[in-house]
Structure 1
Amino acid sequence: MVSKSKIQTIHQNTYPAISPTRPELSTKGKSALISGGASGIGAAITQSFAQSGITNLAILGRTEKSLLEKKTQVELISPATTVWIYVVDVANAKATLSAVQSFAASINGKIDILIANAGYMSSLNSVSDSDPEDWWLGFETTVRGNFNLLQAFHGFASQQATVIHISSSAIHLPYMEGYSSYRSSKLAAYKLFEYYHEENPSFTVVHIHPGLISGTAMTEKFGPSVEKFGLVYDDVTLSGDFTVWAASEEAQFLNGRLVWATWDANELKTMKDEIKADKARFTMGFFT
């Protein structure tokens, strides 16, 4: 999906600069926790971190079967990676805290990387026609769930931890019928992570729009909109690999920024000084 930023080079597939097998992007010796990491975009992110050689990996999700399958896949990709899985709904604060505590205790240390990926898209009805329980579930997962996750993570975060928030380009877009729950909850989540960034200056917090991805639970709902507007899907491997790059030292200059996985990493690096000098660049207030 093409963005309207000033980035000249846009990708729909992964490319060498963000390959998780690059030595510069190695996560060997580090620990990471990924919410919603067993399906869809989260599964691709999990796979990319496995390819980067992550030492300790915790995967949170709501379905034991998908978690077990992803654990097996990670262990095949990276036999040196130790994988923990937790059947957790992040909207449940006690269960989320228990999972994070268990992972931290298991690795006898701190968590270096948090990938906050869990989200929910309610049925695409008007505000007046929406089922209230389904509509609010978007906020329960995307806002309350991420709040719970950040609170649980905070006590076990390494001193210079990296937090990646999987956001959405939808928060920039004008009205589109049926998306009131999804877009408003995603916008609220962005602000939540914006505050967490400002409150924790030793951490790196990056928001990522992962691209327009097919084959996910959400695709079944927004697929007709993609066809209606003639949009093109991006490859999910791009989402995973870009996230690994965004969590690396190379991308620390993006701290506090919202970037698209489709944007060229090399081009972003050439803008490093410009971005660091302009505190509003690539934030919700100023996108270009």
Structure 2
Amino acid sequence: MTFSSDTKAPPGLPTYTKLWHKKSCPTISPTRPENSAKGKVVIITGGGTGIGAAIAKAFAEAGAKAIAIVGRRENHLKTSATTISSISSSTKVEYALADITDKKVLKAAFEKFEHSLGKIDVLVSNAGYLTDIVPIKNSDDEDWWKSFEINVKGTYNVIRAFLPHAVSDAVFLGVNAGLATAPPIPGLSGYISSKIASARMLESGIVETAMTDKTKLPPMDDADLVAGLMVWLAGPEAGFMKGKFMWTNFDVDETKQRAAEIG
């Protein structure tokens, strides 16, 4: 995992901390003892590729007891599962084919995970959908509403499937989009609207994945930055962030210093 040099936030973006990161930093490193996931059962939706796969790797590096990933494409899930196993031979790894809009299949997947892995300590809701980048007048109505079907209803389904199988002090982490609070970008009305509506989940920075190929945006953040932050948020230092938004780019050490103010 590479660590970033400290930078300033780009113009127009939230600047709640003086430092702005585009890559991981030591405080959120999965190998830092304070971020240990030892003994934890972790579930990640959209865990086959991109950010989800990076998050799964990070929890393996943090020593999670078990990691289960959910996704729609078995070939990617198998690849991600193999990578996780290569990182930590002591981590039990499973995957389930499931579309988060299909609540019955999702419910069965979580039942399977509890039966084989135990109660869930951490859920990372990461699966999402990006619409075609076009103005509303040129948009396809089914594609536009698909953002809400996946990003809002799908997230709702994940929460409902998770709760019956969670430990009493389980941690739920939602990977959202910085675009939900950044200056508007033409052609992204469906995606941004659905992300704003998706239960006000924690926000993450812009990360280069297959989804962002559609946007043709400038250089992105490192997926390890999001992955490390998820591990940190699941640990004891981040309790004061419960129910809060947080851009991945914010400096964690500065944020910790403001815990009393934020809480």
Normalised by the length of structure 1, the TM-score is 0.85
Residue 19 of structure 2: aligned partner: 9
Residue 167 of structure 1: aligned partner: 176
- Read off the aligned partner of 1:221 and give its amino acid letter: K
Counterpart pick for 1:213 among 207, 215, 227: 207
Residues 17-166 of structure 1 mapped to structure 2, 5 A cutoff: 17-107=27-117, 109-166=118-175
Q: CA deviation at 1:190?
A: 3.1
- Structure 1: give runs of 5+ residues left out of the alignment: 194-206, 277-288
SS of corresponding position for 2:90: coil
Q: CA deviation at 1:247?
A: 1.1
- Read off the aligned partner of 1:212 and give its amino acid letter: I
Q: CA deviation at 1:5?
A: 2.1
- Structure 2: give runs of 5+ residues left out of the alignment: 1-8
Counterpart check, 1:238 vs 2:232: no
Taking the aligned partners of 1:73 and 1:174, their CA distance within structure 2 comes to 37
Residue 188 of structure 1: aligned partner: 197
Residues 244-263 of structure 1 mapped to structure 2, 5 A cutoff: 244-263=231-250
- Read off the aligned partner of 2:97 and give its amino acid letter: V
Ranges of 4+ aligned residues in structure 1 off by more than 6 Å: none
Residues 35, 73 of structure 1: CA spacing in aligned structure 2 closer, same or farther, 3 A cutoff?
same
Counterpart check, 1:179 vs 2:172: no
- Read off the aligned partner of 1:245 and give its amino acid letter: W
RMSD: 1.3
Taking the aligned partners of 1:85 and 1:75, their CA distance within structure 2 comes to 12
CA offsets per residue over residues 166-210 of structure 1, 9 Å max, x none? Answer: 01111113432111110011011034x5xxxxxxxxxxxxx131x
Taking the aligned partners of 1:179 and 1:53, their CA distance within structure 2 comes to 38
234-243 or 157-166: bigger deviation: 234-243
Normalised by the length of structure 2, the TM-score is 0.93
Residue 203 of structure 1: aligned partner: none
- Read off the aligned partner of 2:181 and give its amino acid letter: H
Contact 1:116 1:164 in 2 (8 A): yes
168-177 or 56-65: bigger deviation: 168-177
Matched length: 253
Contact 1:167 1:190 in 2 (8 A): no
Taking the aligned partners of 1:208 and 1:125, their CA distance within structure 2 comes to 23
Taking the aligned partners of 2:167 and 2:50, their CA distance within structure 1 comes to 28
Q: CA deviation at 1:33?
A: 0.5
Taking the aligned partners of 1:261 and 1:275, their CA distance within structure 2 comes to 16
Taking the aligned partners of 1:20 and 1:240, their CA distance within structure 2 comes to 8
